[in-house]
Each structure stands twice: as structure tokens, then as C-alpha cells.
Homo-oligomer: A and B are copies of this chain.
Amino acid sequence: MRSVGIGLIGSGFMGRAHALAFRMVGGVFALPVTPELELLADINEQVAAEAASALGFKRSTGDWQTLVSDPQVDIVAIATPNALHKPMALSAIAQGKAVYCEKPLAATLAEAGEMLQAAEAAGVTTLVGFNYLQNPMIALAREIVHSGEIGEVISFRGIHAEDYMADAAKPYDWRCEPGGGVLEDLGSHILSLARYLGGDISSVCGRLRTVHKWRPVGLGASELREVTVDDQADCLLDFANGASGSFSTSWVACGRKMQLAFELVGSKGALDYTQERFNELKLYAANQPKGREGFKLITAGPDHPNYGPFCPAPGHQIGFNDLKVIEVKALLEAVAGLGEPYPDFREAWEIQRVVEAVRRSSTAGQWIRIEDV
């Protein structure tokens, strides 16, 4: 079987998740190609060497351009700060390599657009790491929505809230740099779900807000630095198909660790989901017998897409890292010519376009049509 060389740039939180996924995927799924953990790049030789050793990569480098140009590297996986996505992706694309990039696609919509154009012109395979979309229960949700099982989509109400910036004493960090903010960091996840289930968004009306306007420059420091990025955002949504809804996002939501949740109402039923219990999906079907109406709690099992290869028994549950395994499986299949991974650069650009629209809407204090962005 053909080997496919993986080059990973970055070995932090998400880089590590990439590595674990590539390491695991061949054992879980019957793949058309064999991924080889070929080369790992990080900020310098030493960091890269240690990470390569820990994660099982054959070689390492302190220079990402070396990685991109390496003849053994077929797929370039980018798990670096957002601002670096563009040069890395463009370089990989220029060399005809598949690109697997963490979300958001780029620091700005314009950069994301450049990346999209280059990728489509080159015809390379792309995939962006909105890993929550890979969940078997989300695949089930999409199947239920798209089959018409719950009728036409009427409304979508979503949220992605966590609390890692809730403490006002938490120092200013890279997340506070202009271009960042919770809308980009978490809001893009709930928007990816809104589009995946509800289709194109046509217009938005959002309001961003910085809750903690000053943060210490370091832990316990008395000196403060001004924060300009959003801690919280709320937004109204119109979908192209006539559905409507809203979403909220926050990284100052005390007590929330992974509240990526939605309620989707259809004309003949409804779905209720939270990533806090992501091996479950609640389904309501209209026209149940009288006195027997209710939301049904469906537990992930081998009858749902991509669950069975992890475990033949239902209810045993997959974990966060397993979502990434499903993600890279689609990537490797695509590289072998089987299917298209989702979401690709185009979809990631569409998501980013909505993010940009929400931002502009907040600044303007009015509704913005997506097609005008």
C-alpha cells in the first residue's frame, strides 16, 4: 500500500492532536494509504526534536520551509498561530502538496481568500480542522436534517461558550492580540455547525463586546494592558433557505468548559445537542402517538457513521482525540482519490466570511448581508 508522508508544523495543543490522530488512524480505519509520520517542524531544532521523539515522527526541523519542501512530505499539517497559516499554506500549495490546516483558516478574510484561490488554482486537497463536525452524532444530525426526517429547518439557536478567559486576573496573552477574539476562536465552531446543518447564511446582525477591558501584563502584575478583542458576541442569523436563528459565543462564561450546543427546530421535529455530551443526540419527531411524545436520547453506536471502527459496542463513547482521527481519515482518503474532505478551504473561507460579517455588523450597528462581505 502506498505511503503518504506527513509533515506537521507546530506541536502545541492542536499539533499534538494532529500527531496522535495520524498515529492512531491506521489502526482504527482500513485506509487506502499508509500515513508515515515523516517530519515535524517547530520553532527551533530542539523543540522540534523533542516533539518528534515524543510523538513518533521520524525526523524534525526548526525550519518550516524545509519541511514544506521535503520530498517525503505529501501532506503539510499546519497547527501554528493563525498569522502563520497563510505563508505556510501558500508554500505547500505551490509545491502541490495537500494542506491540512487548523481553524480559523487565516488571521483575516483577505488572507483566507488568497489561500482559497491558490488551493483551487493548484487543485490540491485541503482540509480545515473544525473537528467537531466529524462527530458521528453530528453526522447523524446532518443525515436527519438533510433527509427531511424533521421537515424543513425553521430555526437554529447555537452557542459556544467556555470560561478560559473568565478570570479578569488572567494575563493578557496571544489570544488578546488584535485579529483574535472569541468570535474567531469559538464562534467559528458554532458557525461551522450552523452552516453544516442549516446551509448558507444570508445575513447577520451581531454585537461584539470586550468584557474585561484591561488585563495584567503578567500573572499577578499590577501593570495593565488594554484588550480590544471580543470576549463575547451575540448575533442574529438569517439563512438563505428562509430559516432564522441566533448564536452566542463567549470565553468568559464562568463554569462552561465545552458548551458548544445547538437547538435546531424543523417543521416536523427538532434536534438538541451539546458537545458537553457529544456521544448523545436528542431527537424529537412530530406526530408521535398522543401521550407518548418526547425527545429521544440517542447514544452513539456502530449504527452511526464512523463510530464502529473505534468500538463495536454502542454506548462506549469516543473522545475528543477520536474526532481528529475521523478528520484525518477523510483527508487520507481524499489524498488517495476517494471523496472530498469536509470542510475544505472553500468552506472554511465561507465560515470566515460570516465571522467577518458579524464583526462588521457589530461595528456598524446594523444588519450585514454576507454577499456584501
Q: Which residues of A contact B (CB under 8 A)?
A: 13, 16-17, 19-20, 23-24, 26-28, 30, 54-56, 140, 150, 154-155, 157, 159, 161-162, 164, 166-168, 205-207, 209, 211, 232, 234-236, 238, 244-246, 248, 250, 252-258, 263, 265-270, 276-278, 283-284, 286, 290-299, 301, 303-304, 310-322, 365-367
Contact = CB atoms under 8 A, between A and B. Distances in A.
B321 A232 contact: no
A83 B286 CA distance: 33
A161 B154 CA distance: 13
Contacts of A16: 27
A209 B11 CA distance: 47
Contacts of A298: 291-294
B255 A293 contact: yes
Which of A150, A157, A294 has its CB near the most chain B CB atoms (within 10 A)?
A: A294
A28 B162 CA distance: 24
Give chain A's interface secondary structure class: mixed
Contact of A315 (B248, B258, B315): B258
Nearest to A57: B27
Given A23-B27, A54-B30, A205-B207, A245 B234 contact: yes
Q: How many copies does the complex hold?
A: 4
Given A234-B245, A258-B316, A319-B322, 8 more contacts: A13-B313, A16-B27, A27-B55, A166-B286, A257-B299, A257-B314, A293-B301, A319-B319
Contacts of A54: 26-27, 30
Given A157-B159, A283-B292, A26 B56 contact: yes
Nearest to A299: B257
Given A234-B246, A297-B297, A321 B314 contact: no
26 contacts: A17-B311, A20-B27, A27-B56, A30-B54, A155-B250, A155-B253, A157-B159, A157-B248, A166-B286, A167-B286, A207-B244, A254-B265, A254-B268, A254-B286, A255-B294, A255-B295, A256-B270, A257-B315, A291-B301, A295-B297, A296-B296, A310-B319, A311-B321, A317-B319, A319-B321, A321-B322
